[in-house]
């Protein structure tokens, strides 16, 4: 069994975790921010130092390549190094660093492999501009209109942000990879949930990945004087938002599955003064489930419920779809390779679904795709409290290494 070089892996994880860290110990490598570009530069150097071929496609996805010949279908691994604001140090970074270490070991082993290997860092996985920009580019799911509509919460368009870094967002339309050129894609990621940690299992074989829809919802009423406007004469957009929020549990119980989740993660009120009734409430609504039919039913239920609330409160209701990602089942052959690698390494593994979204579910549209999870301490993620024991990180990287070897031989 091949094994990764754990001190090199630790070194890289630790070094990358210092790029974009702020006083609150969170990471702020938002897509195409200066911190993200510093991390990209660091990764490009590490790829070259490893003697791998460095390549960046039109969506600014960074590739490290081993035995690349431009025609033999490649075995791909990778994840993302962009983060949410205030992120932990492993979400995404683990999959990229472990993938890089796997390619170094495979290169050093001198083993004759049938397929070239690639490790990728996908652009804007976390959705500053919607989500999964890099993997959607590779899967051919982007369009000029989608790129024009990709805006961040401050209203900055992805084209503007990329231009500021010397990149052209429209080049992402040329990043498409034909399915014939890819044999498989496997991503190592932290679970970002409590199951592995609770069950004391080191490795998770992912069976399926939640789909989601993410809306930017606007409720428009009337900004008015907070003192002289009687309660029964108000068109208070915030009260409309409050009523929507209190309907979430009921809507999930009546229209969702036991796995359905919904979150209002970002709220803006305007004009935002203490003595003015909010005329505008703008908020994100994100709903997830493993079943596409359930997601469609939930989208319809939320739309009907919000418009009923708006009508009753004399508010105008509109929403934009910021992201819509279908749930996927992971490739069963890859699941078997992962299980077998874990068994051969004497590491206990269990099968489980993924509550979080990942580039893997986009890559699953064009190739056989699967995921390997390692435990998140107390299920924490999207927070500086994110932690995974080094032993579990090593187990995950070794299972990834031997899974890639099985696929590339
Ligand atoms: O939001 C997610 O599920 C992922 O972390 N981008
Ligand atoms: Mn992630
Ligand atoms: Mn994330």
CATH number of the structural domain spanning residue 190: 3.40.630.10
Do residues 88 and 128 share a domain? yes
Torsion on CA atoms 12, 17, 20, 25, rounded to nearest 10: -160
Q: Are residues 14 and 156 in the same domain?
A: yes
Specify if 361 maps to a domain: yes
**Mean pLDDT, residues 163-190 taken together:** 98
Residue 359 belongs to a domain? yes
Task: Flag whether 111 is in a domain.
Answer: yes
The count of structural domains within the chain is 2
Q: Is omega for the bond preceding 271 within 30 degrees of 0, making it cis?
A: yes
- At 225-249, the pLDDT tens digits run 999 999 999 999 999 999 999 999 9
Provide the percentage of residues in the chain whose pLDDT is more than 90: 99
Q: How far apart are CA 328 and CA 352, in angstroms?
A: 13
> Which of 86, 127, 130, 206 to mutate to test ligand 1, by most ligand atoms within 8 A of the CB atom?
127
Could you tell me the distance, in angstroms and rounded to a whole number, from the CA of residue 44 to the centre of ligand 2?
Answer: 20
Q: How far is the C-alpha of 114 from the C-alpha of 357, rounded, in Å?
A: 31
Q: Is residue 113 located within the same domain as residue 174?
A: yes
Pocket flag, ligand 1, residue 286 (CB < 6 Å): no
Q: What is the pLDDT of residues 78-133, one digit of tens each?
A: 999 999 999 999 999 999 999 999 999 999 999 999 999 999 999 999 999 999 99
Determine the distance separating the centroid of ligand 1 and the alpha carbon of 358, expressed in angstroms.
Answer: 6
The closest residue, in CA terms, to atom 6 on ligand 1 is 126
Residue 91 Cα: closest atom of ligand 1? 5
Of the residues 325, 350, 378, the one at which a domain ends: 325
Assign residue 237 the CATH number of its domain: 3.30.70.360
Q: Are 265 and 245 in contact (CB under 8 A)?
A: no
Its domain, for residue 90, covers 6-209+327-408
Query: Bridge-partner residues for 77, per DSSP?
Result: 119, 186
159 part of a folded domain: yes
Question: Which residues have a Cβ under 8 Å from the Cβ of 404 and sit 6 or more positions away?
Answer: 75, 77, 102, 106, 117, 186
Q: Which two tokens stand for residue 371?
A: 């995921």
Judge if 68 and 185 occupy the same domain.
yes
Q: Which residues contact 225 (CB under 8 A, 6 or more apart)?
A: 275, 276, 277
Q: Helix, strand, coil proportions of the chain in percent (round to 5)?
A: 40, 25, 35
Tell me: the pLDDT tens digits for 253-305?
Answer: 999 999 999 999 999 999 999 999 999 999 999 999 999 999 999 999 999 99
Average pLDDT of the chain to the nearest whole number: 97
| 357 in contact with ligand 1, CB cutoff 6 A | yes
Could you tell me how many helices (H) and strands (E) the chain has, helices first?
A: 12, 16
Same-domain status, 105 and 243: no
- Shared domain check, 119 and 26: yes
Whole-number pLDDT of residue 385:
95
Q: Which bound ligand lies closest to the C-alpha atom of 127? A: 1
Is 392 a member of any domain?
A: yes
Answer yes or no: are the C-beta atoms of 104 and 64 closer than 8 Å.
Answer: no
Closest CA to 319 of 282, 279, 265: 282
pTM of this prediction?
0.91
377 in a domain, yes or no? yes
Among 310, 325, 340, residue at a domain's last position: 325
Q: What per-residue confidence (pLDDT) applies to 1?
A: 86
Return the H-helix or E-strand segment holding 6: helix 6-17
Whether 333 is covered by a domain: the verdict is yes
**Half-sphere CA count of 138, side-chain side, radius 13 A:** 30
The answer to whether position 1 is within a domain reads no
How far, in Å, are 96, 100, 160, 378, 395 from residue 76 at the CA level? 11, 11, 30, 30, 19
Looking at the structure, do residues 318 and 345 belong to the same domain, yes or no?
no
Considering the domain architecture, whether residues 185 and 254 belong to the same structural domain is answered as: no
Same domain, 59 and 100: yes
Pocket lining: 282 vs ligand 1, CB cutoff 6 Å: no
Last residue of a domain, one of 325, 350, 383: 325
Which two three-digit tokens encode residue 205? 């074989």
Distance CA(239)–CA(281), nearest Å, equals: 9
183 and 49 in a common domain: yes
Task: Tell me, yes or no, whether 263 and 298 share the same domain.
Answer: yes
Residue pair 328/364 in contact by the 8 Å Cβ criterion: yes
* Residue 129 sits in the same domain as residue 262: no
Structure tokens at 186: 């496997």
**Model pLDDT for residues 293-335, shown as the tens digit of each residue:** 999 999 999 999 999 999 999 999 999 998 999 999 999 999 9
Residue 120 to residue 367: CA distance in whole angstroms: 15
């Amino acid at each position: 069994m091949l094994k990764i070089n754990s001190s090199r892996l630790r070194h890289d994880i630790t070094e990358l975790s210092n790029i974009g860290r702020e006083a609150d110990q969170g990471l702020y490598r938002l897509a195409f921010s200066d911190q993200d570009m510093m991390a990209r530069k660091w990764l490009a150097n590490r790829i070259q130092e490893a003697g791998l071929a460095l390549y960046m496609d039109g969506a600014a996805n960074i590739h490290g390549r081993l035995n690349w010949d431009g025609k033999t279908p490649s075995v791909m691994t990778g994840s993302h190094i962009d983060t949410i604001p205030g992120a932990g140090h492993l979400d995404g970074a683990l999959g990229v660093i472990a993938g890089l270490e796997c390619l170094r070991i495979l290169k050093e082993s001198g083993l004759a492999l049938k397929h070239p290997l690639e490790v990728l860092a996908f652009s804007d996985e976390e959705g500053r501009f919607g989500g999964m920009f890099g993997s959607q580019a590779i899967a051919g799911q982007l369009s000029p209109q989608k790129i024009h509509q990709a805006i961040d919460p401050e209203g900055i368009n992805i084209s503007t942000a990329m231009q500021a870094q010397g990149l052209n967002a429209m080049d992402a339309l040329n990043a498409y990879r034909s399915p014939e050129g890819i044999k498989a894609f496997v991503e190592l990621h932290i679970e970002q949930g409590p199951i592995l940690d609770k069950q004391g299992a080191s490795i998770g074989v992912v069976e399926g990945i939640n789909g989601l829809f993410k809306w930017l919802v606007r409720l428009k009423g009337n900004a008015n004087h907070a003192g002289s406007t009687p309660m029964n004469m108000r068109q208070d957009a915030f009260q409309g938002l409050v009523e929507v929020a209190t309907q979430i549990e009921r809507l999930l119980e009546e229209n969702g599955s036991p796995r359905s989740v919904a979150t209002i993660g970002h709220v803006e009120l305007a004009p935002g003064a203490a003595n003015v009734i909010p005329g505008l409430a703008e908020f994100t609504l994100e709903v997830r489930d493993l079943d596409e039919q359930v997601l469609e039913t939930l989208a319809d239920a939320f739309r009907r419920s919000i418009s009923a609330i708006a009508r009753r409160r004399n508010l105008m209701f509109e929403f934009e779809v910021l992201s819509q990602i279908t749930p996927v089942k992971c490739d069963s052959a890859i699941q078997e390779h992962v299980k077998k690698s874990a068994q051969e390494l004497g590491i206990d593994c269990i099968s489980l679904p993924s509550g979080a979204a990942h580039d893997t579910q986009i890559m699953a549209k064009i190739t056989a795709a699967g995921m390997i999870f390692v435990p998140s301490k107390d299920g924490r993620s999207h927070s500086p409290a994110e932690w995974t024991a080094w032993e579990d990180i090593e187990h995950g990287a070794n299972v990834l290494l031997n899974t890639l070897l099985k696929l590339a031989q």
